Structure 1
Amino acid sequence: MATGHTVKAFDEDLDQLRASIAEMGGLAEDAIGKAMRALVQRDTTAADQVVAADKKIDALEMEVERAAVKLIALRAPMADDLREVVAALKIAGIVERIGDYAKNIAKRVHVVETTAKIEPLSLLPEMARIVSEMVHNVLDAFAARDAEKAIAVCERDRAVDDFYNSIFRTLLTFMMESPNNITPATHLLFIAKNLERIGDHSTNLAEMVYFAATGEQMAERPKGEDPIRSDRTDG
């Protein structure tokens, strides 16, 4: 039977794990916002800062992985505690991917910097705002072990899909108007795709949070039709 000292030590280790996840999430959320501002303002210096800052997210993921493995090996958590540690391990990997998508958006600022401003760009900041809130809310749900909040995050994904499909159709029309529009519109389409994937990953996080909190799988979510489906982060 675990002693009070052992239980306290485990709780402290778990709190540190949660803190590292929260820090990762905060950095990823910040990266999304900064990448979009850099895009709208054609600010390549700010975009480069987003790219450079991604190394911190990568380092935190490794820190979480080491801490989770150590926690399992030394504390041998059971049932609810084990689910939370495993969820933290998986969540860290997904948050790192979200950071990569933000980094990829920032990288494209250099490409679109010299092109004329095109109208579909105005749709992207709102889409980015929604996915950023999804990231924020799902990590809040993880910290609070709040299954209902996790479900609410999943429900917002349909709005992200609708945004993406609307942007896709708008950009396709824009490309057809002039060959000169094809290159900048293609880059904006990749940016929209990165945002859509952040939304998808946020729902994946929500499913993990739900499982960690309840021990049950979340009911399968209907997914809107995607005109271009891709899991690549290096578009």
Structure 2
Amino acid sequence: MRRLFDEELADLDASFTEMGMLVSETIGKSVTAFVNHDRETAQLIIKEDEQINSREVAIEKKTFEMIALYQPVTIDLREIVTVLKAVSELERMGDHARDIATATIRVKGTKRMANIEENIANMGEITRQMVKDILGVYVNDDALGATSVAERDAQVAEMSDQVRLDVIKSIEQDSELATSGTDYLLVAGHLKRIADYVTNIAEWIVYKRTGKIVDLNPGGSTL
């Protein structure tokens, strides 16, 4: 029975990691499409969002089945609960990547701001890397590494604030930038939320490792 449980747990971990890598890649593609004004890629991202949703449903179903069949306790139960919670965070990240792609389509023909798009591109790369790194932390069961990744959330928040200030200043100087400026604010907000969700996963990794519930981003928003 223990051998079967360990095998299914390994499969569960692999499925979670694969989903996370897909989400990380989707985030990168969505931001690149946005700053490159690539509506074709944006359309594909929106269409393929269902793949992320389907993976979440399958992984959640697997966790429920394992809890019912094996009735795990202590560290085994914490690991399953961590996957159950973290997979929901990944799905939300995918939704935000899809919404960035939607913004790419919406801003066609509007006046753009190259400097702000460059900042958003940098913000997107940091956020994408956070998702990728938190998956490695999960695989290595590294509570300290989880805390380190979560600390980057503050950097993303600062960059989001800077985008907001730059947008306000640009619109004050040129009212025709109001439409694209609104989407810049939305995209920066989506990336900030993704970073928040990475922090949530980091907190669940700490829980898995230590059994303690911690707050690695006090004052942060996960809405």
Shorter-chain TM-score range:
over 0.9
Please show how residues 91-106 of structure 1 align to structure 2 within 5 Å: 91-106=86-101
* SS in structure 1 at match of 2:152: helix
1:68 corresponds, among 60, 63, 66, to 63
The alpha-carbon deviation at position 230 of structure 1 amounts to 7.8
The alpha-carbon deviation at position 175 of structure 1 amounts to 1.3
1:218 equivalent to 2:211? Answer no
State the number of aligned residues.
222
Structure 2, unpaired ranges of 5+: none
1:125 equivalent to 2:121? Answer yes
Structure 1 runs (4+) deviating above 4 angstroms are none
1:78 equivalent to 2:45? Answer no
TM-score for both structures, normalised by structure 1: 0.91
Letter in 2 for 1:45: E
Letter in 2 for 1:187: D
1:11 corresponds to: 6
Please show how residues 60-209 of structure 1 align to structure 2 within 5 Å: 60-118=55-113, 119-209=115-205
* SS in structure 2 at match of 1:108: helix
* SS in structure 1 at match of 2:151: helix
> Does the Cα contact within 8 Å between 2:112 and 2:180 map onto a contact in 1?
no
The answer to which of 128-137 and 65-74 deviates more is 128-137
The alpha-carbon deviation at position 9 of structure 1 amounts to 0.3
Letter in 2 for 1:117: R
The alpha-carbon deviation at position 220 of structure 1 amounts to 4.8
Q: Distance in 1 between matches of 2:222 and 2:14?
A: 32
Structure 1, unpaired ranges of 5+: 1-5
* SS in structure 2 at match of 1:160: helix
The alpha-carbon deviation at position 155 of structure 1 amounts to 0.9
The alpha-carbon deviation at position 216 of structure 1 amounts to 1.5
CA RMSD in angstroms, aligned pairs only: 1.4
The alpha-carbon deviation at position 143 of structure 1 amounts to 1.6
Q: Distance in 2 between matches of 1:23 and 1:84?
A: 17
TM-score for both structures, normalised by structure 2: 0.95
1:21 corresponds to: 16
The alpha-carbon deviation at position 124 of structure 1 amounts to 0.3
Letter in 1 for 2:65: K
> Does the Cα contact within 8 Å between 2:43 and 2:101 map onto a contact in 1?
yes
The alpha-carbon deviation at position 221 of structure 1 amounts to 3.6
> Does the Cα contact within 8 Å between 2:134 and 2:202 map onto a contact in 1?
yes
1:3 corresponds to: none
> Does the Cα contact within 8 Å between 1:158 and 1:223 map onto a contact in 2?
no
> Does the Cα contact within 8 Å between 1:127 and 1:163 map onto a contact in 2?
yes
Letter in 1 for 2:100: I
